[in-house]
């Protein structure tokens, strides 16, 4: 299966009976509420240099709204991923694991590790976790201290043993290429933009680690009031390609 199937996998089987009922544009996060109350989030990715695919996703059946995952209007693509995540990332998805950590079970000692999106300090990963690595490269589209530009991915990812990718790479359409460059490595997708979709594991991804919104109204208020994490309003899900993950 080609890594470009990432979006097709997400769009496959979405129920037409559900519609996008509400969209909330926060400072860091975009949220979508479906007609059955399910709520999902994705990174609020800026960029409206091209027209939208749809005048609005509001009122559209979920499968139609999901087509905007392929929009090059980044704000629209953010809305589409939030709507898709509202469907996949639920408390009854079977993979909720609140106490888990992103790197649990993965060896770092002596390995070459790449991180796409500087997530240190914004997740349960710290710089100290990577002191035992042979090499540790952080690459980010935004200018951040200590991070290489994301163009460095072409040079460093093929030599990595472990690659950690922010789920927001699905919005800007770099995800397929990042997975292709990381095909020889173990791969973890992490962050609230990650979809709890088992089919994605067919693409050589070893772990999906994201968030399920459990306090939707509080989260919707918080994301428009300040820049911050959605973690206080959510629980962790973790889905591994190998073995069975505990669930409840």
State the CATH number of the domain containing residue 31.
Answer: 3.30.390.100
Mean local confidence (pLDDT), 215-229:
95
Mean local confidence (pLDDT), 70-94:
97
Q: Using the predicted structure, report yes or no on whether residue 248 has a pLDDT greater than 60.
A: no
- Stated pTM of the model: 0.94
75, 132: one domain:
no
147, 216: one domain:
yes
Domain count of the chain?
A: 2
Whether residue 119 lies inside any domain: the answer is: yes
24, 78: one domain:
yes
Whether residue 245 lies inside any domain: the answer is: no
Q: Which pLDDT does position 98 carry in this prediction? A: 84
Of 73, 88, 103, at which residue does a domain stop? 88
Whether residue 197 lies inside any domain: the answer is: yes
Expressed as residue numbers, the domain containing 53 is 3-88
pLDDT band at 76 (very low <50, low <70, confident <90, very high): very high
Query: Which CATH number belongs to the domain containing residue 127 in this structure?
Result: 3.40.50.11590
pLDDT band at 119 (very low <50, low <70, confident <90, very high): confident
68, 178: one domain:
no
Q: Which pLDDT does position 21 carry in this prediction? A: 98
Q: Using the predicted structure, report yes or no on whether residue 244 has a pLDDT greater than 70.
A: no
166, 234: one domain:
yes
120, 37: one domain:
no
Whether residue 46 lies inside any domain: the answer is: yes
Phi-psi region of 99 (alpha: psi -120 to 50; beta: other; left: phi over 0): alpha
Of 56, 88, 120, at which residue does a domain stop? 88
156, 197: one domain:
yes
């Amino acid at each position: 299966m080609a890594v470009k199937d990432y979006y097709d996998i997400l769009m496959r089987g979405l129920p037409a009976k559900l519609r996008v009922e509400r969209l909330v544009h926060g400072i860091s996060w975009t949220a979508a509420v479906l007609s059955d109350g399910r709520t999902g989030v994705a990174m609020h990715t800026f960029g409206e240099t091209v027209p939208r695919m749809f005048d609005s996703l509001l009122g559209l059946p979920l499968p139609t709204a999901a087509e905007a995952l392929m929009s090059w209007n980044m704000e629209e693509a953010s809305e589409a991923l939030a709507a898709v995540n509202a469907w996949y990332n639920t408390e009854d998805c079977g993979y909720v694991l609140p106490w888990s950590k992103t790197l649990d079970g993965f060896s770092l000692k002596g390995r070459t590790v790449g991180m796409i999106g500087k997530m240190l300090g914004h997740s349960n990963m710290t710089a100290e976790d990577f002191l035992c690595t042979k090499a540790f490269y952080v690459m980010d589209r935004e200018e951040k201290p200590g991070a290489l530009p994301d163009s460095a991915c072409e040079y460093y990812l093929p030599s990595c043993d472990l690659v950690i990718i922010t789920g927001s790479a699905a919005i800007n359409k770099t995800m397929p290429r990042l997975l292709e460059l990381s095909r020889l490595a173990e791969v973890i997708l992490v962050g609230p933009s990650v979809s709890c979709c088992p089919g994605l594991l067919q693409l050589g991804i070893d772990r999906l680690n994201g968030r399920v919104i459990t306090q939707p109204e509080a989260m919707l208020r918080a994301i428009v009031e300040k820049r911050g994490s959605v973690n206080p309003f959510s629980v962790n899900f973790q889905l591994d390609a190998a073995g069975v993950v505990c669930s409840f």
